[in-house]
Structure 1
């Protein structure tokens, strides 16, 4: 029995240096996400944008969630919250006050996501879960400014209930993704990748090159499905753990790089690549440490000098020192392990509840915790089937002189022909996701606000001719089997006009 227990522990034992890389990668992705989101600060997060606060509260608000970003519809308040989030994300990368930086980054991230659920995608669920589990992980123990005040750990090996939760969470992402893909096009017909690459709204250049290869796409469909379904089992093998983890990380890196080169998925691939850094084995980390250590020491020295220069002017410095007795420390650790174990059971149940095959459904009164702390998750990427409805937007503005201009193409004359690159019409993946949600009938409430937002920003430029009407038109193009496409159908989703001047 004593020999069996260490073997069962092997799949869940992580390296402190790998956890530090997980922290750095997660913080870097949060920073990148903030930079991209900040380019649409007014459009996506203020009352002058596409989702004013009163509309959010009326149509898209969950009473169990909270958001600091809903405290005001002014861009100045949003900019302040963005700046605070960027500072805490930078502190997370550097490992300064790591536990606090993790908690505040998580709090501000879910606050930001709750402010505009119309632009949230699957990768956002994983990003907030990395921060959630990161609060319990010792990912600031090494490669951090905090670690400069501590002795080097006697061993880099670390095992606890939270490492179990981290590994299980990664497995759930891919298992649930595969199990939710229950349409024949994934497991029988092999046509799912064909339909995915038929979506011009997300098609990248490499995907365009692969698209004519029907047999290759069929093989890639089965490869994708069975990779997601079977690969996570490698994480739980109790022998030769190093090699199985290297295989898992290597396959997923190739998998997500391939997705990013063929489909426009925003930060989805970077989030997934950062999420597996905590699995890196010691053999890889020893080589990485030899390259990283001198560079980290140089950066830490510079950061320490900078930190001393700005901390001195703070009016108050608070230092709290708590002395823990051995019995209290053991009790606290046992309580933490029990809490993490209960959280893991809850999250596993939530994931199983998303599967149509699962019978023991979670009752609605039990969901408040998941919504409040945003551990709710659903990994339904291209599931149960790939969308067949494709197309492109025409923002048909009619000038006072009767001309028709396409605001989606910088005011050029309206053309009914498909653009050479539909994906190029989107500023970033957040706008692509918003446009996808714009099509759903259930979201029809959002259409006039987008239309009026477009009119307002158009008229802010005095060089633009005034418009008397704007139509948001969708050229719907349904993908058929065997490289056939239905003729595009013009659908007017919304019509609006400028408010009359007094």
Structure 2
């Protein structure tokens, strides 16, 4: 699947075209520097570990077991297909879920370290997909992008640089003969075009949105108290700055095609703009792993000159040792020994495997692209597919229109004495707007669950009532779950919160 050849001698064909020049143009647009592949692999591994250990592990028993808020019986009623094929849904035990999560972390660590990276990437993608299927209310577009990148990564030479596998067996893929040259293949073209398509779809949706094209989308987003954090509340006070960010993001998305059509400093500037934008999102909004997923894949677009300068800077602080020394320690004797130990594969089998891989990648990109076009609402969804099934994994991200309200929950518990309390904070039930809506959610996963279950029907509410009754004080006779919605516009909250009773249940 990978092509990394030396430059051929320039020749001129009968029509005056230089084949070597055409190849050079293609390589400069669709090729990837080996060091970028190494950085991308490390980024993928770190993002998966962050997502699993920081975001999901603390809520493992609450969200992924039968003793939690979505037991397998409820999952089977809501999503019967997911309940059948999800490995995580084959048992409701906490320890089985913990074992599967530990296995996913181990595979992600192999990706990070560069040991059997392709196999580890496939295993990580499959286990993540199974975990997401166990509780689809915790999935967002960033999760599906991460899985798609892991699948494509299985066709990339991830161990070309800075990998444990190369240091252990002395392999010399991507050493001095291709030191600063791009690796070009169907897989490198696929991953680059895949990323551009994500941004392009988002740009189209932005242009079709009245909120974005009137400059009020970002100011409105920063009034959603359950999304913004860290620097977000400070930035929310500066409407003019947010309006400027609104237009800057639209302009940046509009230049996404330059990620593959340009080279040199234009490409470097374009990539840097996207990286800065995503880091800004991470510093101001609760978006899970999404900003870090995009930063990791954007590393693939940086041209060799960026990596050359980075290596030069690192060498200055490393007493003259070159950054590339991590990948080129082995001597030529190790190379010959490693080469002789490899199993020879007949050319016919190699060609067949290559064709199968190309067909899979092309089909994968086409299917995922069509799925996102439907999820984004650019074309009508099939009658058998509910809009809510697509929205949860859409790559639209606040498009075409951002939310115009935020929500929080009140769980009112009636005690034997006749008094009531709010199980969220232990105080008296109060439906006034809280100072910070995120204080009503113990963790980010609770926030995501509360948002995604809106409109999901009663199937998830009954097990939720059982869950809260089981954690209420012994003298609680019944509970009532309410959701409060606070409308907002670009200037802040509009009117009073709207209270909705979701379910009332007896705890006896």
- TM-score for the superposition, normalised by structure 1: 0.83
Aligned equivalents of 1:296 and 1:468: distance in 2? 65
Correspondence for 1:170: 195
* Alignment match, 2:338: none
1: CA distance between counterparts of 2:64 and 2:122? Answer: 22
1:469-480 equivalences under 5 Å are: 469-480=478-489
Question: Which blocks of at least 5 consecutive residues in structure 1 are unaligned?
Answer: 301-319, 460-464
Matched ranges for 1:156-235 at <5 A: 156=179, 157-181=182-206, 182-187=208-213, 189-228=214-253, 230-235=254-259
- Structure 1 residue corresponding to 2:126, chosen from 78, 84, 107: 107
Q: Is the Cα contact below 8 Å between 1:27 and 1:93 reproduced in 2?
A: yes
Is this contact kept in 2: 1:397–1:467, CA < 8 A?
yes
Instruction: Tell me by how many angstroms 1:80 deviates.
Output: 0.9
Q: How many residues align?
A: 460
Q: Quick one: structure 1 residues 299 and 493, their matched pair in 2 at CA, closer, same or farther if it must change by over 3 Å? A: farther
Structure 2 residues not aligned, in runs of 5+: 1-16, 328-340
> C-alpha displacement at 1:70, in angstroms?
1.0
Q: Does 1:490 align with 2:499?
A: yes
* Number of the residue aligned with 2:413: 397
> Bigger shift: 477-486 or 394-403?
477-486
**Alpha carbons of 1:252 and 1:467: their partners in 2 closer, same or farther (altered >3 Å)?**
same
Matched-pair contact (CA < 8 Å) for 1:179–1:355: no
Q: Is the 8 A contact 1:408 1:425 kept in 2?
A: yes
2:294 to 264, 272, 276: 272
Does the 8 Å contact 2:83/2:133 carry over to 1?
no
Whether contact under 8 Å (2:411, 2:479) holds in the other structure is: yes
Q: CA deviation at 1:295?
A: 11
SS at match of 2:502: strand
Residue 90 of structure 1 corresponds to 109
Q: Cα distance 1:298–1:274, how it changes in 2: closer, same or farther (>3 A)?
A: same
5 Å matches for 1:86-485? 86-148=105-167, 149=169, 150-153=171-174, 154-156=177-179, 157-181=182-206, 182-187=208-213, 189-228=214-253, 230-238=254-262, 241-289=263-311, 291=314, 322-358=343-379, 378-409=394-425, 411-440=426-455, 442-459=456-473, 466-480=475-489, 482-483=491-492, 485=494
Following the alignment from structure 1 to structure 2, what is the Cα–Cα distance between the partners of residues 363 and 398? 45
> What secondary structure sits across from 1:412 in the alignment?
coil
Q: Alpha-carbon deviations, 1:49-93, whole Å to 9, x = none? A: 111112111112336983110111111111110111111111111
Q: Indicate if the aligned counterparts of 1:203 and 1:264 stay in contact, CA closer than 8 A.
A: yes
Paired with 1:76 and 1:484, the residues of 2 have a C-alpha distance of 44
Question: Per-residue deviation at 1:297?
Answer: 10
Deviation of 1:399 after TM superposition, in Å, equals 2.1
Distance 1:429 1:249, change over 3 A: farther
- Residues 168-177 or 286-295, more deviating: 286-295
Deviation at 1:120, TM superposition (A): 0.5
Worse overlay, 469-478 or 122-131: 469-478
